[in-house]
Amino acid sequence: MRKIFFYNLIMIMFLFLKVQGQGLPTNREYYKHQGIEAKIEEFSGSKYYHDTFKLSTIQDKLTEKEEKKYLRYDALNDFFEMKESINSANVTFLKKELGIDVVYDNKHFVYTRYNDDFDKRQTGYLHLIGQIESNNIYVKYGRNLRMPEKAKTTLEMDKKGSITNTIYYLHGKDANSISKIEINKKSILNLFAEKNIDKVKNFIKQEKLKFKKVNDLEKLIQFADNI
């Protein structure tokens, strides 16, 4: 009887942990990507979208339930670190699951299937900006790694590695059609109905949008909602 009790207790604890989160998949003292490990101090730049944890909302689309947690997005490894409170030392990570969305830093992140910039099928987090003519528009945040270089002679110094930000845009009506799209002042017009193109052109000119920043696209989508 006692064995059965302890077995049930362990199973309950296991299920609780599985729902709440999972242990970090990498040593937090290292940047780890595609089997390469290097110490943090050997790099300039950061793997995080923001270095600090932010109070965020986790949305379960199936049950329509929401939960507040402190999250930090690791754009290099594409996962959210999670804490119960801002001062907590215990860090887990949010379980990746289709149908679990995140509102982080006032941005709506969806975990979904998509075709990446090499047209390979992937599953990961995309920032959903909004819609243009029934097409969802997304941003994929990532990081490029340049590995550290050891000095070849005693007259040289070791060179730090670097982590730099990367983004690209995607669009699609559903998860089966999400794919990369080039965004510039000309290509963006292809997303609009013919009757709205002149209005869009005038808005782009008036606001001096160059689409080198995500904010420019966000402005245009807000405008598109009202035409």
User: Quick one: pLDDT at residue 56?
Assistant: 98
User: Quick one: pLDDT at residue 147?
Assistant: 82
User: Quick one: pLDDT at residue 41?
Assistant: 74
- Torsion of Cα atoms, 51 then 57 then 61 then 66, to 10°: 150
User: Quick one: pLDDT at residue 24?
Assistant: 34
Is 77:5 a contact under the CB 8 Å cutoff? no
User: Quick one: pLDDT at residue 157?
Assistant: 85
User: Quick one: pLDDT at residue 82?
Assistant: 95
pTM strictly above 0.85: no
In angstroms, rounded to a whole number, what is the distance separating the alpha carbons of residues 150 and 79? 30
> pLDDT (tens digit, 0 to 9) for every residue of the chain, 227 residues total?
444 433 343 333 333 333 333 333 343 433 444 555 667 678 888 889 999 999 999 999 989 999 999 999 999 889 999 999 999 999 999 999 999 999 999 999 999 999 988 889 999 999 999 999 889 999 999 988 888 888 888 888 888 888 899 999 999 998 889 999 999 988 999 999 999 999 999 999 999 999 989 999 999 999 998 88
Task: Write down the domain spans for the chain.
Answer: 20-181, 183-227
User: Quick one: pLDDT at residue 98?
Assistant: 95
Three-state DSSP string of 101-156: EEEECCEEEEEEEEECCCCCEEEEEEEEEEEECCEEEEEEEEEEEECCECCCCCCC
